[in-house]
Chain A
Amino acid sequence: MGFLQTVWTIARKDLVIEARSRELAYTTLFFAVSVVLVFSFSFVVEGVALTDAASGILWVAIAFSGTLALGRTFERERQADTLKALLLSPVERPAIYLGKLAGVLLLMLVVEAVVAPVVGLLFQAPIGRAPLLLVGLLMAGTLGFAAVGTLFAAMLIRAQSRDVLLPVLLYPITVPLVIAGVRGTAAILAVEPNLAVAQAWLSMLVFFDAVFVTLALWVFGPVMGE
């Protein structure tokens, strides 16, 4: 079986399970929208939002809901020890990693497709100003976050305090990604937008993605071997 075929087989399995239960989509989406709604009561005063608040809240919602999605995705693999079954199959470890990553990534992007317009609506943020650039920032930031999160969630699958450890490990490492995402998005949504600055942050996100995905592919096999 080819490498990409294996990646797709694993990702499709996750998507079929999610399509059937919709557990992750509903909980993640509900959580992300709730976060945005609660913040809107604090940061929007008399119909005017604080400067740059929208971009920060969008990325906080993405990071928190993404952590929820990562934890639950691997909880499914833990319930009947199915991650072990994946590791016992004659497929390359990086293909397993990428398959799991693809499933989480798609779910997070679906959530963002709903949350970003909600942020735009509640904070009067012009999310349609540079749509391709905004989508690029969201996709690149989400990829980096999910890449690190997938690795850690897989590593922690047998740890008893995995629900606590996942954010403790994940957030410090992904802080640069979130900062780049916030600053890039803020540059687009500002009263006086600076698309060149947004592009610079996007380049930085792509660089982070390359580093994180490469490192994760490199260490996933040895880490899972123990």
Chain B
Amino acid sequence: MVGLDRAGTAPDLTPVAVDFHTVFVDDVSRHYGRRRALAHVTIQAVSGEVLGLFGPNGAGKSTLISVLSTLLKPSGGTVRYGTHTMEDMGDALRGHIGVLGHDLYLYGDLTARENLRFFGRLYGLDHLEDRVTDALQRARLDDRGDDRAGAFSRGLRQRLAFERALLHEPRLVLLDEPFTGLDDDSAQVLIGRLRKLRESGCIVVMATHDFDTAEAVVDRALCVDRGRVWTVADGAGTLRERYRRTLLEQG
């Protein structure tokens, strides 16, 4: 575990090491016109931690993930990746972030292998063919690597998209509804993969509605509602019960 870099610390502008061990969201707000999607959110995540974001639809979970992924600029506040910000590091920072979006980011007309190969090239990965083969094996799609991704079921595409997001071994892994469409067996495999990511020092931030599955892997749960974020209290009961209690307490 690495300590936090609080806002106000001079950023390290050395262009050599882009890698980071903490992500600090400092008083971040995001507005879409007059609608407030995030309001003064401050959270931290450290290396080897799986952070769960729970909340009703439209609460701001996906916006928070988009801000963390650098896709959206905050209307106010800062996101720090270790000592860096997106402004400091530019495009190179994105090479350390892996995102599994709700829409999966796969080309239906390309095969599973071609999808992985295409994104691998964009990330400038070495030993690309070996990585692609390994990824297909981990997704349990090694016998369907030459099939079009568009011909896969949602669950198979979800597995492929998850491995696509991890192909470049990112430090920060952002997952938006990762269990969607997965059967019980695939969900357990995904839980196993998330545990391995935690052991390898990744920072995982996951937005999900699937409390029962996520409870097996989440280290810390956050409740997101109307753009605000609260920590789900520890204590008795399941994650779902504690989340509901937190939601009630916060009104």
Interface string of A75-102 (1 = CB under 8 A from B): 0100111101111111111000000000
Decide: A88 and B104 in contact? CB cutoff 8 A.
Answer: no
Contacts of B124 in A (CB 8 A): 1, 90
Interface size class of A (residues with CB under 8 A): 20 to 34
A10 to B107 alpha-carbon distance, docked (Å):
12
Determine whether B249 belongs to the interface, using a CB cutoff of 8 Å to chain A.
no
Cβ-Cβ contact count across A and B, 8 Å cutoff: 75
Decide: A80 and B71 in contact? CB cutoff 8 A.
Answer: no
Which A residues from 1 to 54 make CB contacts under 8 A with B? Answer: 1, 5-6, 9-10, 13, 16-17, 20-21
Interface string of B159-196 (1 = CB under 8 A from A): 00000000000000000000000000000000000000
Which B residues from 105 to 139 make CB contacts under 8 A with A? Answer: 105-110, 114, 118-119, 121-124
A89 to B99 alpha-carbon distance, docked (Å):
10
Decide: A17 and B107 in contact? CB cutoff 8 A.
Answer: yes
A90 to B125 alpha-carbon distance, docked (Å):
11
If A90-B91, A91-B122 touch, whether A13 touches B103 (CB-CB below 8 Å) is no
A225 to B114 alpha-carbon distance, docked (Å):
27
Decide: A17 and B110 in contact? CB cutoff 8 A.
Answer: yes
Which residue on A lies nearest to B106, using beta carbons? Answer: A80
A92 to B124 alpha-carbon distance, docked (Å):
13
Contacts of B70 in A (CB 8 A): 88
Decide: A81 and B109 in contact? CB cutoff 8 A.
Answer: no
Which residue on B lies nearest to A86, using beta carbons? Answer: B122
Determine whether A226 belongs to the interface, using a CB cutoff of 8 Å to chain B.
yes
Closest approach, in angstroms, between the C-beta of A217 and any C-beta of chain B?
Answer: 15
Could you tell me how many residues of chain B have their Cβ less than 8 Å away from some Cβ of chain A?
A: 29
Determine whether B97 belongs to the interface, using a CB cutoff of 8 Å to chain A.
yes
Pick from B102, B103, B110, B119: contact of A89, CB below 8 A: B119
Closest approach, in angstroms, between the C-beta of A17 and any C-beta of chain B?
Answer: 4
Determine whether B226 belongs to the interface, using a CB cutoff of 8 Å to chain A.
no
Closest approach, in angstroms, between the C-beta of B245 and any C-beta of chain A?
Answer: 35
Pick from A1, A79, A81: contact of B122, CB below 8 A: A1
If A20-B109, A82-B106 touch, whether A13 touches B101 (CB-CB below 8 Å) is no
Determine whether B151 belongs to the interface, using a CB cutoff of 8 Å to chain A.
no
Which residue on B lies nearest to A226, using beta carbons? Answer: B73
Which residue on B lies nearest to A81, using beta carbons? Answer: B103
Which residue on B lies nearest to A2, using beta carbons? Answer: B124
Decide: B109 and A88 in contact? CB cutoff 8 A.
Answer: no
Pick from B73, B94, B110, B121: contact of A88, CB below 8 A: B94
Contacts of A91 in B (CB 8 A): 91, 122
A196 to B244 alpha-carbon distance, docked (Å):
78
Which A residues from 54 to 88 make CB contacts under 8 A with B? Answer: 76, 79-82, 84-88
Closest approach, in angstroms, between the C-beta of B185 and any C-beta of chain A?
Answer: 24
If A16-B114, A80-B103, A90-B95 touch, whether A85 touches B108 (CB-CB below 8 Å) is no
21 contacts between A and B (CB under 8 A): A1-B121, A1-B123, A5-B121, A9-B118, A9-B122, A13-B118, A16-B110, A17-B109, A20-B109, A80-B103, A81-B101, A82-B107, A87-B71, A88-B94, A88-B97, A88-B105, A89-B123, A90-B92, A90-B94, A92-B91, A93-B91
Determine whether B93 belongs to the interface, using a CB cutoff of 8 Å to chain A.
yes
Pick from A16, A84, A92: contact of B71, CB below 8 A: A84
Interface string of B59-94 (1 = CB under 8 A from A): 000000000011111000000000000000001111
A17 to B150 alpha-carbon distance, docked (Å):
12
Closest approach, in angstroms, between the C-beta of B115 and any C-beta of chain A?
Answer: 9
